[in-house]
Amino acid sequence: MPLFDRCLAAVEIADAASGTVLYARNEHLLLRPASNVKLFTTAAAVLGMPQDFHFETTIAVAGTRRHTLYCIGGGDPLFSSQDIQKLAQFVHAANIERIDTLVMDGSLYNADIYGQGWMWDDEADPFTPYLSAFPVDGNVVRINVRKTSQQASSIIVSSRPSSRFFQITQADAADAGRHGSGFHMEKVPRSNEILLFGTPRSGRTESKQFSIWRPIDVFADLLQTELQRRGITADTLVVTSASSKPSELQPLGSIRRPLSPVLAEMNKKSNNLSAEAMLRALSFGTGRSISQVSASDGLAAMSVILKIHRMDERDMALYDGSGISFYNLATAASLGRLLRMLAANEAYERFRASLAIGGVDGTLRNRMRDLAASRGFRGKTGTVRGVSALSGYVQAPGGHLLTVVMLMQNFKGRHTPYRAVQDRIVRHCFNYSATKTPTTQTR
């Protein structure tokens, strides 16, 4: 069809139980899978990590005077401002009245602030948040700007989370003029400074999200604020970092996050921070010393796990856990084998539960709504510029489970027409009865 005259498409559809390939085209071509990379990351997690694994963020004190507070980052991608309130409550419950030093121990991760192979000039985009052992609110800040009247001074600015580390500045008239007549916001690269250009219309609230630069600073600031709210003296608090912990450390409490909600956030919502945290967590389950963990450590652990389950690495080249890197490559055949291998594994239900349901939730909420009643498709989308992918399971009539992989790339413009073709293919799979002759020709 004309839509594919100037781009590449690879498709593989197979019966999950028998392994019979029902339709295949370009299935051995290495293409960019975008967020379908998260399927490899998820597979390694459910196959190779202990089911009781938890991301853990701990608050503790050191010494007999208990004036030095340690916060030990656990790389929990779902850690929120509300969880910081719980950490402060642990301190309050221990009857600690004054803190003079807060030690932020981020030694869990190495110094990388981007995923491996990410484009550094995308740094202000919340789609590519900074990595840290101290995530908070997804490492994304939402800036709200509201003009309450026609007066120039009637602008109310707020941020969520709220921290003194966010500097919001009105650009001067000359700069605003060079950026057009409308209102918009920009973030200064590698900072938490937000520039406002122009003013919003009266009575209107403008909002925009940005990646948080140095999440550890914002985390520490929010924690200090919560300690003070509970009457714990921390006005002259010295915040420092450490790479080691004293032996006499006394834990006060921990926030623990199991795998399942992180996997669901990663796949249903295609959350990249969750994927990168999960990649690094893979090395924890292999008995490796837990410090200075990198993407390479996670990829090495993933390689071991996938080899155990007979996945051929010649059909893939993975550089991160999320699919943002354009260096990632995979074949439709490799993704199909992964899906079929998991369908026959005891970890299948955990894997399947993390996927978006067509017409119901996540990135598939507004697609295939006519299939929502049967909830017959679960899958993972993949979207970067010029790339659209969809892979997952179709529960066809008669109890037949099909694996469907569709990788489309090197196109210009909107993703919408390619998604429409993917949805049509999924609908077509619901007519499968296991009586048709396998073919590699379009039906």
At residue 435 the predicted structure's pLDDT band, cuts being 50, 70 and 90, is: low
For residue 189, is the peptide bond before it cis, meaning its omega torsion is within 30 degrees of 0? no
Q: What is the C-alpha to C-alpha distance for residues 340 and 401, in angstroms, rounded to an integer?
A: 9
Predicted local distance difference test score (pLDDT) of residue 439: 47
At residue 64 the predicted structure's pLDDT band, cuts being 50, 70 and 90, is: confident
The residue whose two tokens read 């969520």 is 160
Q: Which of 163, 140, 138, 109 is nearest to 284 (CA)?
A: 109
Q: What is the mean pLDDT of residues 237-260?
A: 87
Q: What is the pLDDT of residues 374-385, one digit of tens each?
A: 668 999 999 999
Residue 384 contacts by C-beta under 8 Å, 6 or more apart in sequence? Answer: 32, 34, 35, 323, 324, 326
User: What single-letter DSSP state applies at residue 398?
Assistant: G
Percent of the chain with pLDDT over 70: 92
Percent of the chain with pLDDT over 90: 74
Computed over every residue of the chain, the mean pLDDT equals: 90
Predicted local distance difference test score (pLDDT) of residue 38: 98
Surface-to-core class of residue 168, CB atoms within 10 Å of its CB (0-12 exposed, 13-18 middle, 19+ buried): middle
Cα dist from 71 to 47, 129, 151, 257, whole Å? 31, 22, 45, 16
Predicted local distance difference test score (pLDDT) of residue 443: 36
At residue 243 the predicted structure's pLDDT band, cuts being 50, 70 and 90, is: low
Predicted local distance difference test score (pLDDT) of residue 134: 97
Q: What is the C-alpha to C-alpha distance for residues 397 and 374, in angstroms, rounded to an integer?
A: 10
Amino acid at 298: G
334 vs 283, which has greater pLDDT? 334
Most confident of 5-9, 75-79, 366-370, 427-431: 75-79
Q: What is the pLDDT of residues 313-370, one digit of tens each?
A: 889 999 999 999 999 999 999 999 999 999 999 999 999 999 999 999 999 999 998 8
Predicted local distance difference test score (pLDDT) of residue 434: 62
Predicted local distance difference test score (pLDDT) of residue 289: 57
Partnered with residue 103 across adjacent β-strands are 70, 240
Domains of the chain: 2-52+260-429 (3.40.710.10), 54-114+214-258 (3.50.80.20), 137-211 (no CATH)
Question: Of 247-256, 279-288, 349-358, 394-403, where does mean pLDDT reach its minimum?
Answer: 279-288
Q: What is the pLDDT of residues 151-179, one digit of tens each?
A: 656 789 999 999 999 999 988 765 655 56
Query: pTM of this prediction?
Result: 0.92
Question: Of 306-315, 354-363, 403-412, 431-440, where does mean pLDDT reach its minimum?
Answer: 431-440
